[in-house]
Amino acid sequence: MRCLIVTGLFYPSKLGGPAKTVYWIAKSLVSSGLSVKVVTTNRHIEDPSVKFNKWTWMDNIQVMYCTSSILSPLKTIYHSIAQMRVCDVLILSSFCYYPNFFVALFFALSSQKIIWSPRGELFESAINDSKLKLLYFKLIKLLFAKRVIFHATSEEEVNRLKKHLGENIKTELIPNYIELPEKKPRIETGNDYFLYVGRIAPIKALDNLIIGLSKSTKFIESNVKLLIAGEVENKYKNYYNNLLQIIADHPNLSDKISFLGNIDGDEKYELYANAFCTVLLSHSENFGNVIVESLSQGTPVIASKGTPWNQLNEYKAGYWIDNNPDQISKTVNLVLSLNKEEYIEIRDGAYKLALQYDISVNIDNWIKVIKNIYGKN
């Protein structure tokens, strides 16, 4: 079975969760005996050993990294269409990576099998009342609703797909699975911190988090800090500056919040392991890879109800809360009031939940969908 994946971001890109999510899927499919090729871009790839604009190998995956330029979409479309005759199933990541639309069109006209993942782009906070996006989604509905299997990572994303593309579309719900990293030892230093890992962007609601912390008496009176690890894209510079202004407007936060920039590799997982708690309070997330990454280190998570993570409550692995400063403050006070036994229990629950998302034991869910769509049982 031969799969072609087309995505705007792919490992070792350092921007966004999908870059690694799609990489883990591809890597595990190859380990299960499937052949996988990937057409992508070189966006946010800093590794000088990665070759661009030619087929190269990445962990037994054949990858074409097209250099980002005004011609990049055309390169992506060209190299993808060139694989039509040797491809059994096409997997597309993102609706709003626009080359995917044209690749899907060529493959659909040739009656090829297609699986398409919107990656959270149908949530209201992602659409942001854009008439152009709504018109684009209507076009996808018109052309592809009966020709494509749509992949969702949560029940809420299934609902969003059906709302925009029609109740009768074919959907498959497969959560994001990750390649569980080695569990790092937790080093008790007495310098506890809450941790955020991800993009510095409005959808992540870091403004709510910062205001919520300013209202938390337990946080303000303690030596606990907030560490923010993530890249600031140029288009969100104003948002970043707004966060700095919020901090400046609350003098009790002046020495309690630090921006670390992008952190990756072992350093990132050590950061998770030693965190008191990780926070992800996005207005919307179709999944939230950082939650599993944190849980994999036994670190509990505070997540907003904009994420599909009610399991945090079920597993006693963290807290699934409303995204507003008062609720954030209340939850932070609660977390900082836990005694040692209660905190150990919640860390144990965190790691148990992470094990449910190990891709090495869940890749069969993807293989089943791929074989079914191709007609092989």
> In this predicted structure, what is the pLDDT of residue 41?
96
Do 172 and 29 lie in one domain? The reply is yes
> In this predicted structure, what is the pLDDT of residue 277?
97
Does any domain span residue 322? yes
Do 237 and 142 lie in one domain? The reply is no
% of the chain residues with pLDDT over 90 = 87
Q: To which residue do tokens 């269409």 refer?
A: 81
pLDDT < 70: residue spans in the chain: 376-377
Model confidence pLDDT, tens digit, residues 290-317: 999 999 999 999 999 989 999 999 999 9
Task: State the residue range of the domain holding 45.
Answer: 2-179+359-374
Task: Starting at the earlier edge strand, list the strands of the sheet with 113-117.
Answer: 55-58, 61-66, 35-41, 2-7, 89-93, 113-117, 149-152, 170-173
Query: Distance between alpha carbon 268 and the CA centroid of its chain, in Å?
Result: 15
Do 341 and 222 lie in one domain? The reply is yes
Cα 204 to Cα 291: distance, rounded to the nearest angstrom: 13
Do 9 and 145 lie in one domain? The reply is yes
Q: What are phi and psi of 206, to 5 degrees?
A: -65, -25
Does any domain span residue 106? yes
Cα 23 to Cα 38: distance, rounded to the nearest angstrom: 9
Do 171 and 197 lie in one domain? The reply is no
Which pTM was predicted?
0.87
Do 330 and 366 lie in one domain? The reply is no
Tokens (6 digits) for 346: 């919640």
> In this predicted structure, what is the pLDDT of residue 68?
84
Listed in sequence order, the residues at least 6 apart from 237 whose beta carbon sits closer than 8 Å to its beta carbon are none
Do 314 and 234 lie in one domain? The reply is yes
Do 148 and 255 lie in one domain? The reply is no
Do 350 and 363 lie in one domain? The reply is no
Our count of domains for the chain comes to 2
> In this predicted structure, what is the pLDDT of residue 233?
83
CATH number of the domain that residue 305 is part of: 3.40.50.2000
Do 208 and 333 lie in one domain? The reply is yes
Does any domain span residue 112? yes
Do 148 and 282 lie in one domain? The reply is no
> In this predicted structure, what is the pLDDT of residue 376?
62
> In this predicted structure, what is the pLDDT of residue 139?
97
Q: To which residue do tokens 């209201």 refer?
A: 124
Does any domain span residue 187? no
Do 243 and 336 lie in one domain? The reply is yes
Does any domain span residue 186? no
